[in-house]
Amino acid sequence: MAGVRWCLGRGTLTFLFLVLQLGCTIVLGQDIQFTRSIYNATIAENSPIRTFISTEQKMGVYLPDPSATVRYTLQESDVSDLFSARPEVVGDFAFLRIRTRPCRNKSQCPNLKVNREVRPEYYLTAIAQSSSGGVRSTSTAEVHIVVQDVNEQPPLFLRGNYAATISEDYPVFSNIIQVEAHDSDSGTNGEVYYSFRQQTDQFAIHTTTGVVSLTRPLNFDQQSSYTLTVVAKDRGFTPYGGLPLTSPVQLRIYVQQVNKHSPEIRIEKQPTVSRNSEIGTVFAVVGVTDEDGGVNGEIAALDIIDGDPGGFFRVQPSPSPGRYQLQIARSLLSSSLPHAFNVTVAASDRGLSPKSTSLVVGVVLDGAMNYEAYFTNDFFNTTINELMPVNTPFLSVAPRSAVGNTGFSYVITDSSLPFSIGTHTGMLSVAVDLDRETTPEYEFTVAVRNAKQQTIADTRVVVILSDANDNNPSFEEEIYTVEVEENRPAHSQVLVVRASDPDLGENGFISYSIANLNAVPFTIDHETGSINTSKVLDYETMRHQYRLRVRASDWGSPFRREAKAVVIVNLINLNDNRPKFEKINCVGAIAKSFPSGRAIALISALDFDENRPRYWITSGNVNDLFSINPQSGNLTLSRPVADSDPLFYSLRIEARDGPTSVSYMRTNMTITNNANPSPQAHARGLKVTCQETDVAEEIEELYGQLEASNQEVEHLPPNYAELYSSNVHEPEFETGFRTSVEVPEDAPVGGTVLTVNANDLDHGFNGKLLYAISDGNDKSHFQMDFETGELKVLMPLDRETQSTYDVTVKISDMGKPQHTRKSPLTITLTDVNDNAPQFDLKQYDVAIPEDAEVGLSFLAVHASDRDEGRNQEVRYSIISDSPSFDIDIITGELSVAGPLDRETNPVHEIRVQATDLSDSPLSSSVIVRVSLDDINDNPPRCLLPEYKVKIREDLPTGAAVLSVQAHDPDNPPNGTVRYRLDTSGSSKFSIDTDYGTLRLVEMLDYEVTQLYEIVVAIRDEGIPAMSSTCRIVVEVVDVNENTHAPVFPNYVLTGSVHEGHINDTEVMTISAADMDMGIDGEVSYTIRDGSGLGRFSIDSSG
């Protein structure tokens, strides 16, 4: 047997069995046996009737003898109607030939068709039955038949059509959608190629996966949709030379307009919102627009997204599209609300990918509190001395950050108060003289107002005045008059004087004293003011009137204040002394003829009380002979002596000056009988003698005492009133008082500038001085201690803001009336290096060409320093790592110091420092941003110098092979890259000039060309343009196009050879036909198997 096979593993095998008849010996009586227990065979689907299955194996049994017969049957009933078996005996071997059975009628034909898609394989049991010489033998074998595919089924898409929607900014070279088709054939017949029916540079489809990708940018305005026809074609060859099996499907790609622009928010709002606003009050109108078209430009909503956790505000759409109102949603009267809200509103459009914009809306509440910004506290309580001079600052309500801010001002809402406040310093000062006794406490509001004088914040301030000893005690009356009877017991109360002092504490605690320099018979209770007698008063020996100088003194410091009152005490005389007779125990005799009415004796009594006593005879006056004149005391006879009258009388005479003030004396009178009527005789008949008393001397002595008492006079020093009462002298600055002083501008707050020394020659409060700055301290940078005269720094100083202060120093005493003196004082601030140089701009931006020559000056920065002298001189330096630049240290001129390259570093940020020349230098820095303008100094370059790709020779036209990617670091148009193919013979391919997609435009043929070397020329659009090239190597992969197997004219060919022929004797010539063209139709021959293997040979030509 001999077989013929195509070389290189590409051909189709066909087998031919040869029978060469030779002499041989037959052994009889053996059982038959299949050559294999299992055979593998194939048959093409849709094979016509009576088509034999093919196998590379020798299928059958050997005959036991030439006379033996063999019969083959197929045991399986379900295929008995499809296949039939018959023997074909060649020599001693009975081949098992299996073929498809012909149909007996038309209805049976469809069932006898071999269809791989219905049943791809069959399993048969072949039975061989042999009969030889009456001996029967049987053998069985399995036959596995595989149905070989024939490309009869076209690819079918899984869907009737495809659609995809992508945004117009969809990235180039990104996948869009995958189409999928299925081919029920097997092998290459079932492999599907995808392609576009129409030529397009906009999209590409992967040949084997069906993934559609974007190869050029989209533009909704130019084209909003694309309709493409995708063709699915299998890789098999159509039998019988028919047309390729393809299937089309429609792909529609919709371009969605990109939401390019975010909404823009414009707002018109009130500067402040009243806290009394009603719910629904509109305080802002918001306009929202969007430059996009269609739904992308429609505004979906405007919402409050932040800054209003309490829900005090709301958004209300207006009737006009894109217009909204911001309204009050809740009451704003809560005291816990902040001074302002930062309400964030956000607007979003209706785009498929919505864009939004937010804006912070500042809502300032009128009258709301924001203590951190404007006040150091939400409530102030301070105490100051009521003697604090006018223009003396005492309290700052502003934080340091607010001092000097001219965007708002501080005011005291009640202008009638005795205080002032610095408009931009928030420093409270005394505006007019204070008096605690009139108003001990002030509570008022300090407000912060904006430029429109609208209140934006306020706080409460309580100022309590501490007491100073500034009030003299005051008596209820300046002069008191009182009458006091004499003889009152010692320590008897005469009068209670009362004085009051409106000061507090010891300043208002009063003690009393009597200020007479000479002793007076009175004392005063120091606490109550009760004036008492210190001894019994006697009108007859003491002054009848006393003028008491009563002093009321407080216990204040540093000196006591006092007041004086005059108390006039008039002594009332009482009848406290009995009359005293000058003579007592009188004895006398009178003649009986003594005439009546003539003086017998003069009875005289003296009274210290200066009362005239009256006289009476109280007893012994028998028959009323005697009488006495009550006023004068003249004793006479009331009538002539009668004979019946007794001759002896003992008269008891009474001297009385009051009901109980009585004195008595005895006068004994004898009546004699001398009857001589002559007057001389009467005189001689009258003789009265009395005992003298010393009453007159006593009275004279008492009158002397009274006279001496009335003549007592206080001897006061000549300047007594000036020393202790009157404010005579004016205060004086000490000699050498400086009218100018220098202070460094960095003097610490609380530091002493100088101490004012002054004096006043008066005593007490008249000489006690108060110090003040009366003018020139409007911004309250200084404060004078009103008691010590120490001038201190109250607020930070800055020479650059104000270098000199012309103030007026005032000194005043505390006398009444008050004396004052003033002196000018110039305070000059000396410079301290407290200001760093400041650049004119916060940042410098400059552009220079990237090919700027070394040494080119392109910018001069400038910084100024507000200090003086060397503190003001500035030097410049570069402190960043910028080796490509240099700077002039004096002028600040920047220049190029080295080569530049925009592609390496397009922007240089140079940090320039300015430093002053102080011994303790200060500096500041600024960024100089140098942008390099592009020069077309770089050619475009492919990302890879060579691209390699393998593609099958049956790839459909229009297929995207690869994308060449190039980069030019220059800016457009210098960096815009264009592609073109620059190789002859590359007509099989085309390239997208803008995006470098390489596509197949003509079918390939491996047998003609196996390798393509393509040069891609890339060029930028600069002037002049720059270009470069890269290489694409396309290797064509061969596809097996050998569709037909060689065919022998007969299954068995018979030849003969004589015994004894020598080697290399030609026995026969074999020929097979192949319907393929070219190399695929060339046939070669070999002997594969058989009993003659090794005995016979065949050349490749048969």
Task: Report the candidate in 85, 77, 189, 170 with the shortest Cα–Cα distance to residue 127.
Answer: 85
Specify the pLDDT at position 351: 84
Specify the pLDDT at position 9: 33
CA–CA distance, 882 with 503 (Å, rounded to integer): 76
In CATH terms, is domain 167-258 a member of 3.10.350.10? no
Neighbouring residues of 982: CB distance < 8 A, sequence distance ≥ 6:
1015, 1016, 1017, 1029
CA–CA distance, 887 with 871 (Å, rounded to integer): 21
User: CA 398 → CA 412, 464, 880, distances in Å?
Assistant: 13, 20, 40
DSSP code at position 683: H
Please give the residue that has the higher pLDDT: either 107 or 946.
946
Specify the pLDDT at position 22: 45
Model confidence band, residue 10 (pLDDT cutoffs 50, 70, 90): very low
Q: Which of 611-620, 883-892, 936-945 has the highest mean pLDDT?
A: 883-892
Specify the pLDDT at position 16: 56
Tokens of 610: 């200066």
Q: Are 981 and 996 in contact (CB under 8 A)?
A: no
CATH of the domain spanning 371-466: 2.60.40.60
The CA-CA-CA angle for residues 546, 547, 550, to 5°, reads 125
Specify the pLDDT at position 643: 87
Q: Which CATH superfamily is domain 722-830 in?
A: Cadherins (2.60.40.60)
Specify the pLDDT at position 441: 95
Model confidence band, residue 983 (pLDDT cutoffs 50, 70, 90): low
Helices (H), 387-527: none
- Mean pLDDT to the nearest integer, 267-286: 83
For the segment 94-146, what is each residue's pLDDT rounded down to a tens digit? 999 989 887 776 666 666 778 887 888 889 999 999 988 778 899 999 999 99
Given a cut of 80, whether residue 638 has pLDDT beyond it is yes
Helices (H), 478-551: none
Residue 464 sits at φ, ψ, to 5 deg, of: -105, 130
Q: What is the dihedral of CA 829, 831, 833, 837, to 10 degrees?
A: 100
User: CA 317 → CA 244, 286, 322, 341, distances in Å?
Assistant: 65, 9, 8, 21
433-442 long-range contacts, Cβ below 8 Å, gap at least 24? 433/390, 434/384, 434/386, 434/387, 434/388, 434/465, 435/386, 435/465, 435/470, 436/386, 436/465, 436/466, 436/467, 436/468, 436/504, 437/471, 437/502, 437/503, 439/465, 440/464, 440/465, 441/465, 442/417, 442/418
Q: What percent of the chain has pLDDT over 70?
A: 90
Single-letter amino acid, residue 27: V
Return the bridge partners of 599, or none. 636
Model confidence band, residue 186 (pLDDT cutoffs 50, 70, 90): confident
Class of domain 838-933: mainly beta
CATH of the domain spanning 487-499+507-554+562-572: 2.60.40.60
Given a cut of 80, whether residue 322 has pLDDT beyond it is yes
CATH fit for domain 580-704, picks 3.20.20.70, 2.60.40.60, 3.90.1150.10, 1.10.340.30:
2.60.40.60
Given a cut of 60, whether residue 684 has pLDDT beyond it is no
> How much is the mean pLDDT over the chain?
86
- Mean pLDDT to the nearest integer, 661-677: 81
Which of 155-169, 255-269, 1037-1051 has the least mean pLDDT?
Answer: 1037-1051
- Mean pLDDT to the nearest integer, 839-854: 94
Q: Which of 81-90, 534-543, 936-945 has the highest mean pLDDT?
A: 936-945
Delimit the domains of the chain by residue range: 23-148, 167-258, 264-366, 371-466, 487-499+507-554+562-572, 580-704, 722-830, 838-933
The structure tokens 């994308």 sit at 963
- Mean pLDDT to the nearest integer, 688-700: 84
- Mean pLDDT to the nearest integer, 407-424: 92
Specify the pLDDT at position 925: 95
For the segment 213-265, what is each residue's pLDDT rounded down to a tens digit? 999 999 888 898 999 999 998 887 765 556 778 889 999 999 988 888 899 99
Model confidence band, residue 1050 (pLDDT cutoffs 50, 70, 90): confident
Neighbouring residues of 494: CB distance < 8 A, sequence distance ≥ 6:
482, 484, 522, 531, 532, 533, 569
Given a cut of 70, whether residue 187 has pLDDT beyond it is yes
Given a cut of 70, whether residue 306 has pLDDT beyond it is yes
CA–CA distance, 157 with 177 (Å, rounded to integer): 14
Q: 233-252 burial, b if ≥16 CB within 10 A, otherwise e?
A: bbbbbbeeeeeebbbebebe
For the domain made up of 23-148, give the CATH fold.
Immunoglobulin-like (2.60.40)
- Mean pLDDT to the nearest integer, 731-744: 91
For the segment 864-874, what is each residue's pLDDT rounded down to a tens digit? 999 999 999 99
Model confidence band, residue 11 (pLDDT cutoffs 50, 70, 90): very low
Specify the pLDDT at position 465: 94
In CATH terms, is domain 264-366 a member of 3.40.50.2300? no
Rounded to a whole number of angstroms, the CA Rg of the chain reads 74
CA–CA distance, 499 with 478 (Å, rounded to integer): 10
Tokens of 314: 């709301």
Domains 167-258 and 580-704 share a fold: yes
For the segment 1062-1100, what is each residue's pLDDT rounded down to a tens digit? 777 888 888 888 777 767 778 888 887 776 677 788 887
Which of 3-17, 454-468, 798-812 has the least mean pLDDT?
Answer: 3-17
Specify the pLDDT at position 978: 93
> 3-state SS string over 248-272?
EEEEEEEEECCCCCCCEEEEEECCC
- Mean pLDDT to the nearest integer, 193-203: 91
Specify the pLDDT at position 240: 53
For the segment 794-807, what is each residue's pLDDT rounded down to a tens digit? 989 999 889 999 99
For the segment 568-608, what is each residue's pLDDT rounded down to a tens digit? 999 998 887 888 888 888 999 998 888 988 988 888 888 77
Given a cut of 70, whether residue 1 has pLDDT beyond it is no
Tokens of 907: 């922007």
Specify the pLDDT at position 526: 94
Given a cut of 50, whether residue 23 has pLDDT beyond it is no
Given a cut of 60, whether residue 2 has pLDDT beyond it is no
Specify the pLDDT at position 518: 86
For the segment 496-555, what is each residue's pLDDT rounded down to a tens digit? 999 999 999 999 999 999 988 888 999 999 999 999 999 999 887 888 889 999 999 999
For the segment 347-373, what is each residue's pLDDT rounded down to a tens digit? 999 887 898 999 999 888 875 445 677
- Mean pLDDT to the nearest integer, 381-398: 92
For the segment 870-921, what is each residue's pLDDT rounded down to a tens digit? 999 999 999 999 999 999 999 999 999 999 999 889 999 999 999 999 999 9
- Mean pLDDT to the nearest integer, 1031-1042: 85
**DSSP per position, 255-321:** EEPP-----EEEEEE-S-EETTPPTT-EEEEEEEE--S-GGGGSEEEEEEEES-TT--EEEEE-SST
